[in-house]
Amino acid sequence: MAEASAEPHTTRMGLVLSASAAGTVFEWYDFFIFGSLLSIITRHFFASAGEAQGYIFALLTFAVGFAVRPFGAMVFGYFGDRAGRKRAFLFTITIMGLATFAIGLLPDTSRIGDMAPYLLISLRVLQGFAVGGEYGGAAIYVAEHADAKKRGAATGWIQVAATVGLFLALSIILILRTALGEDAFTDWGWRLPFLVSLGLLIISIWIRLKLDESPAFRQLQVTGRTSRTPLSEAFLRWRNLRIVLVVLAGLLMGQGVVWYTAQFYTQFFLERVVKVEPRMVNFLILTVTVLSAFLHVFFARLSDRIGRKPVMLFGLALAAVMLIPGFQWLTEAVNPALTEATARAPVSVLAPPAECSLQFDLIGRAKFTTSCDIAKSTLATLGVPYRNEQSEPGSLAQIRIGTLTLSSVDGSVLAPSALAVAQKNFAAEVKSSLLAAGYPVKADTSRINVPLAIAILLIFVTAAAALYGPQAATLVELFPTRIRYSALSLPYHVGVGWFGGFLPPLAFAIVAATGNLYAGLWYPVIIAGIGFVVTLLFLPETRGRDINA
């Protein structure tokens, strides 16, 4: 009898895994396309703000998708706990797919002016809102079908799906860049990855329509034990709220910053900071992404053997110890000429401290127009490290390159159009002076140590995979069935969405303020350290728990 019943269960589990993972791949593919094309999106939607400020606006537009994810988590979490897992993630995938397709059709500022960035932000809000309900639904659906002894391995495939989504996005971008050429891709070809999503949406909805509701939720419905107020039950009762807070501070904040450092900030750092050619960046990240898929499965399976907690503690510790030295090694591996130029002709910014801002603005309304802000943002955009030196109050900021000194621009007294011209001319002057001092315009591809760069990137994704692989099983095992969707989704999207999603613009702002290319990494290092302590002291081991309670 055991043998007779095993095959149907295996078949059902295979369908559950493939349908859940396929939909999640598509959701994350949609979300990752935008992050992978930030430089091009800046040119089409934020060019009028200047190169440095425009890129910050693009980063913030990327981040706004993360900002709304907790609100989507609350809405779809409530819906998933009340009406079922299947219905909730059918809605999420439809909203996500249509918003992504619409970005591919969106006119840029050259056609509709300032309306274009606002429409882009609106579509990003829809994307983020939908993703807020996707992860929790897929993870819970798989876990509630899985064998208790293999729950980590089963839910690990949901974690792999996010990696596959990134791989698919980068692959399509790389293929199109190569086939069309960089100029055509930058001009119009960047829209194609967004438009392709319509076909993927149709396939994903068709697959998910084949699914039945999870057995754990069906049992709740049959016995009449579904929660009428899952949000208040999850977040207003201390017994449940305490677990939510421990999970947020101990696991999800750390996983968010480590994962987005490994998968996104590395791409931003390679392309924007150390100036590696975009196709080489795509190749490096793609290679590591393929390897990380195996690591996610490995650590998910390992958590079924030795427990969730020790695996995740390893990931947090590795990130806290290795991120800063790892990025320093990465710079030397991909752009040794930058390291050599920094030693030969160091750069300094001389400015009154009162004129210098932390250039981080969540709503994009601040104006960073002082001579200090312009000098620092110009150097940060060019990927040039510098020291800060104090000058007399009221004086104009200056950039010193070796023995050469350049005066910055006081944008606070200029009209927007004049400021844009002045910033462009100043950036050109700085670029010319840096080139004369031996600073590379971009990384020399022939000098990139590709095996070493991949090995360093692999350290980062190992830390991320050790955290992410067992995570879904851990979260499902921590919360009771009747409030699981709500209690899991909200802290996940606060920790991962807010703390992880805001990492690129915040790290860029810290780099611009300090002149240290690696200063922004203190943010994920500190968060990972806090996560290690909280997880060690307060997070219980959950392997083997009954999740049908």
Q: Does 321 lie in the same domain as 199?
A: yes
Tokens 């991949």, residue located: 454
State yes or no: pLDDT of 250 exceeds 50: yes
Q: Does 323 lie in the same domain as 214?
A: yes
Q: Does 455 lie in the same domain as 427?
A: no
Dihedral sign, Cα of residue 166, residue 20, residue 460, residue 504: positive
- Any bridge partners for residue 399, and if so which? 349, 406
Q: Does 253 lie in the same domain as 142?
A: yes
Give residue-wise pLDDT tens across range 307-351. 999 999 999 999 999 999 999 999 999 999 998 999 899 999 999
Q: Does 73 lie in the same domain as 158?
A: yes
Confidence of residue 5 (pLDDT cuts 50, 70, 90): very low
Q: Which of 4-13, 69-78, 223-232, 353-362 has the lowest mean pLDDT?
A: 4-13
Give the CATH number for residue 411. 3.40.30
Using alpha carbons, select from 251, 296, 203, 132 the residue that is nearest to residue 540: 251
State yes or no: pLDDT of 188 exceeds 50: yes
Tokens 């579509």, residue located: 123
Work out whether strand 387-390 and strand 398-401 pair parallel, antiparallel, or are unpaired: unpaired
Q: Does 219 lie in the same domain as 301?
A: yes
What is the C-alpha to C-alpha distance for residues 380 and 463, in angstroms, rounded to an integer?
27
- Whether 250 is in a domain gets the answer yes
State yes or no: pLDDT of 3 exceeds 50: no
Tokens read off for 500: 């992880």
- Whether 273 is in a domain gets the answer yes
Confidence of residue 52 (pLDDT cuts 50, 70, 90): low
State yes or no: pLDDT of 9 exceeds 60: no
Torsion of CA 287, 293, 299, 304, to 10 degrees: -170
Query: Please, which residues have CB within 8 angstroms of residue 199's CB and are 6 or more apart in sequence?
Result: none
Q: Does 208 lie in the same domain as 87?
A: yes
Q: Does 191 lie in the same domain as 44?
A: yes
Give residue 322's pLDDT: 96
Q: Does 370 lie in the same domain as 329?
A: no
Q: Does 343 lie in the same domain as 329?
A: no
Residue type, 114: D
Cα-based angle 477, 478, 484 (whole degrees, multiple of 5) = 85
> How many domains does the chain fold into?
2
What is the C-alpha to C-alpha distance for residues 243 and 78, in angstroms, rounded to an integer?
18
pTM of the model: 0.80
pLDDT, the chain, mean: 84
Residue 66: count other Cβ atoms within 10 Å of its Cβ.
26
Give residue-wise pLDDT tens across range 352-411. 988 887 766 555 556 778 899 889 888 888 888 889 899 888 899 999 998 899 999 888
Give residue 336's pLDDT: 93
Give residue 257's pLDDT: 93
Q: Does 468 lie in the same domain as 355?
A: no
- Whether 386 is in a domain gets the answer yes
On whether the CB atoms of residues 80 and 137 are closer than 8 A, the answer is yes
- Whether 1 is in a domain gets the answer no
Q: Looking at per-residue confidence, does 527 or 164 come out higher?
A: 527
Show which of 436, 468, 489 is a domain's final residue.
436
Domain hosting 393: range is 339-436
Give residue-wise pLDDT tens across range 405-461. 999 988 888 887 888 888 889 989 999 999 999 999 889 999 999 999 999 999 999
On whether the CB atoms of residues 88 and 78 are closer than 8 A, the answer is no
Residue 96: count other Cβ atoms within 10 Å of its Cβ.
29
Mean pLDDT of 196-210: 79
3-state SS assignment for residue 102 = helix
What is the C-alpha to C-alpha distance for residues 215 and 229, in angstroms, rounded to an integer?
21
Burial class of 408 by CB neighbour count within 10 A (0 to 12, 13 to 18, 19+)? buried
